[in-house]
Amino acid sequence: MRLVKIGIAVFFLLAFIAPPIACGQEQLTESKTPAQILQEADYLVHIEVTIAKPGAVIGGYYRKNSYLSGFLYQPENETRWFVITASHLKPLSEDWHISRIRIYIHNQRQLPYDAGLLGYDRRIDTAVLMIIDPNFSFSGRTATLGDSDSVAVRDLVVSLGSPQGIRYRQLSGRVENTRFEETVIDKFGNALPYPLSFIRHGTNVFHGNSGGPLINEFGEIVGMNAAAYFFPGRPAAEYAFAIPINDIKNVLENLIAGEKYD
């Protein structure tokens, strides 16, 4: 499977690099506006990741910060809270390691909480974080995980997340392809080890939208944004790509159990 390059456009993962739920299954029927979807998304998460590697600097480490998006998830009969996001928050290079993950919840905007990487599967670019902060509590509206097999071309979808690190924003567009498979590269030219299967859509996402939910017009999560085509000089993507939520649901139990697939 080739790396995606069309002219000068490059297919990039969507983590923004700064300089150096309970799972509902019922079908919802009431259409919502993009603004309503964002307003009701108490479960939306802004993620700040610090990675480090040894180096001849003060403190002995080089550090970089990146920003992603995600959404809260709590299985039935579970007291712990988790965050679903993109697995490329974990560096591909073994030289770098995650030194800290902090999350911010949409309905608790000013309160950071510590989280840790629990499990991930690079085959579908999905990771599960566990909130480890003893002070964490959540009483807002939880996410409804929909059915990505029901998504059709021309459906209205809304991307929620942190474009360019700006928290809690919504962008809307239309579905263009319900199953689009390609190999992708990150901002540093590293190829993910597996081709990914995507919902391709026309919301003009930015770096920082990675891991954020893709919502249908009924307020259900049908995908997780992971990658996009970017043209030089244009901060917004030409096309965006989301992992189908059904693919994510198939591995959630394993990732919550701490399994890791490179």
* Rounded CA separation 39/34 (Å): 9
What was the pLDDT predicted at 67? 92
Asked if residues 158 and 37 have their Cβ atoms less than 8 Å apart, the reply is yes
Structure tokens at 116: 């840790």
Strands 156-161 and 213-216: antiparallel
Confidence bin at 249 (pLDDT 50/70/90): very high
Kindly state the average pLDDT of the residues 59-75. Answer: 87
Q: Please tell me the least confidently modeled range out of 124-133, 160-169, 232-241.
A: 232-241
**Core vs surface per residue 189-200: b (16+ CB within 10 A) or e:** eeebebebbbbb
Does the pLDDT at position 109 exceed 80? no
Does the pLDDT at position 25 exceed 50? no
How many other CB atoms are found less than 10 A from the CB of residue 254? 14
Amino acid found at 106: H
Q: Give CA torsion, residues 155, 9, 15, 104, to 10 deg.
A: -40
99: helix, coil or strand?
A: strand
Does the pLDDT at position 62 exceed 90? no
Domains belonging to the chain, first-starting first, are 5-17+145-245 (2.40.10.10), 42-142+250-261 (2.40.10.10)
Kindly state the average pLDDT of the residues 30-54. Answer: 94
Structure tokens at 1: 């499977």
What was the pLDDT predicted at 205? 87
Strand ranges (E), 122-236: 126-131, 156-161, 169-182, 196-201, 213-216, 221-230
Q: Which residues pair with 211 in a beta bridge?
A: none
**This prediction's pTM:** 0.84
Place of tokens 């479960």: 43
Does the pLDDT at position 197 exceed 90? no
Task: Tell me how far CA of residue 259 lies from CA of 158, 211, 216, 253, in angstroms.
Answer: 30, 19, 29, 9
* Rounded CA separation 226/15 (Å): 8
Place of tokens 């964490």: 136
Does the pLDDT at position 261 exceed 60? yes
Among candidates 242, 255, 212, 235, which has minimal Cα distance to 68? Answer: 212
What was the pLDDT predicted at 7? 32
Confidence bin at 97 (pLDDT 50/70/90): confident
* Rounded CA separation 114/124 (Å): 25
Q: Please tell me the least confidently modeled range out of 14-23, 144-153, 179-188, 242-251.
A: 14-23
User: What's the sign of the alpha-carbon dihedral 139, 141, 146, 151?
Assistant: negative
Mean pLDDT of the chain: 84
Does the pLDDT at position 27 exceed 70? no
What was the pLDDT predicted at 231? 66
What was the pLDDT predicted at 1? 30
Structure tokens at 43: 């479960």
Does the pLDDT at position 23 exceed 50? no
Does the pLDDT at position 156 exceed 70? yes
Kindly state the average pLDDT of the residues 102-123. Answer: 93
* Rounded CA separation 184/201 (Å): 16
Q: Please tell me the least confidently modeled range out of 18-32, 90-104, 126-140, 216-230.
A: 18-32
